[in-house]
Amino acid sequence: MVQKIDRLKESPSQTAGPYVHIGLTPCFSGISGVYPSDLGTQIAGANAKGEQITITGRVLDGTGTPLRDALLELWQADAAGRYPGQDGVDPAVTGWGRCATDMATGTYTFETIKPGAVAAPDGHLHAPHAHLWIVARGINLGLSTRIYFEDEAEANAADPILSRIEHQVRVPTLMAKATAPGQYSFDIHLQGPDETIFFEL
Amino acid sequence: MSQGLFPRDRSWHPPALTPLYKTSVKRSPQAAPLAIPAGAGEQYGPVFDRARLGPRDADLIHNFAAEGQSAIGPRIIVYGRVLDETGRGVPNALVEVWQANAGGRYRHAKEAYIAPLDPNFAGCGRVITDSEGRYEFRTIQPGPYPWPNGPNDWRPAHIHFSIFGPAWGQRLITQMYFEGDPMIWRCPIVGTIPTRQGIETLVAALDVDATVPMDARAYKFDIVLRGRRQTLFENRMEGL
């Protein structure tokens, strides 16, 4: 016999379902009068340091059809690579946004600032990136991925996460494409030859 | 700051592909997820200000009702704690809930069930846990409802829960079921959870002692988030 280690088990995940908007973006879903506004509509205030950018895209299923009932959350560092909660973070940055995909077109949009490179405890610099979490009907456990920026080629080449990916041919699935100054496009493919890399955190 | 998160036991959670829940078939990634070490981005998370909550946010019986009216259905209190896998209460956790009305109808543009809307019920609420991880809200017990999957599939009565712990890597969405509901064991979405033991952790217990006489029955529902490692050095830093 040995001593017991008392641990609880994490609550099992269940799908967010088709009506996730009622709980997480009620104003978007047309429920007015309960909350004054939806949470997560501002990732970075007008005074936030850094380049103002817009990221837009869709979540596509295995047939290439956009999900019109998905909900995405984005989490990122400020322009200096600090997360809210860390010392010295830009007070104009909440770092967190939430967006339901459009019920007709399936597009999502985040307006934010470009995150800075993040220093790891071992001194490595992680290329600028945002964390993305995707839930929807048919997704049993929320999916985690990252948005990197294709115009940060030098930082991406030195990034310790990107460089550990065995199938380097899939790395472009993590790259937001610059479509105009300050405008990026990032589609998420749940399945198929272009399946996005998802992470186990 | 903690030094990482306990690894998630993926054999305990539903797998991505669960063919009896048909929508998962074309929405499930097929490549293995890439495990990465937790950095600052996974160990910090968004912070929610209690001041943003309104006085009726945790009262779904009244938060959409006309003055002097209330939602129709069995009145219940749902209470419990948000814990992590070490058993510690998680303070300041944002808990958001949503549900159907007592007839099993959601207030949503894409909902097509013939059961009527309740003009006094929206179906959303939220609360932030106290210093020991406790939360509580009032609502009406939702009804079961049919859904398009198999030819005759019904969801058991349930409440959806979204929970933020202090770390982004703890983010979780799940559902709460009610003790004694025979529909639980017939539901393909419940059935995505691999073990009966796992399912039972999502079934809230009727707590007769916490029931308010002549007002509302109480159900207790604890939620567990992933554990966070802490070193002795950090414990001293935090004065624990």
Contact yes or no for B225/B82 (Cβ under 8 A): yes
Look at residue B231 in the predicted model and tell me its pLDDT.
58
Give the pairing type, strands B223-225 and B75-84: parallel
Look at residue A133 in the predicted model and tell me its pLDDT.
98
Look at residue B191 in the predicted model and tell me its pLDDT.
98
Check pLDDT > 60 for residue B151: yes
Look at residue B234 in the predicted model and tell me its pLDDT.
46
String of DSSP letters for A59-77: EE-TTSPBPSS-EEEEEE-
Residue A131 banded pLDDT, cuts 50, 70, 90:
very high
For the segment B67-100, what is each residue's pLDDT rounded down to a tens digit? 999 999 999 999 999 999 999 999 999 999 999 9
Check pLDDT > 50 for residue B235: no
Note the residue count of chain A.
201
The CA distance from A184 to A181, in Å, is 8
Distance from CA of A45 to the nearest CA of B (A): 15
- Quote the percentage of chain B above a pLDDT of 90: 90
Q: Is A154 on the interface with B (CB under 8 A)?
A: no
Distance from CA of A179 to the nearest CA of B (A): 26
A-contacting residues of B 128-157, CB under 8 Å? none
The CA distance from B65 to A9, in Å, is 38
User: Could A200 and B36 be called an inter-chain contact, meaning their C-beta atoms sit closer than 8 Å?
Assistant: yes
For the segment B158-173, what is each residue's pLDDT rounded down to a tens digit? 999 999 999 999 999 9
CA angle B173/B178/B180 to nearest 5° reads 145
User: Could B27 and A201 be called an inter-chain contact, meaning their C-beta atoms sit closer than 8 Å?
Assistant: no
Q: Provide, as residue numbers in chain B, all residues whose Cβ is less than 8 Å from the Cβ of A164.
A: 34, 36
pLDDT, chain A, mean: 97
Q: Is B192 on the interface with A (CB under 8 A)?
A: yes
Residue B4 banded pLDDT, cuts 50, 70, 90:
confident
User: Could B45 and A85 be called an inter-chain contact, meaning their C-beta atoms sit closer than 8 Å?
Assistant: yes
Q: Which residues of B are catalytic?
A: 106, 145, 155, 158, 160
Residue A62 banded pLDDT, cuts 50, 70, 90:
very high
Check pLDDT > 80 for residue B192: yes
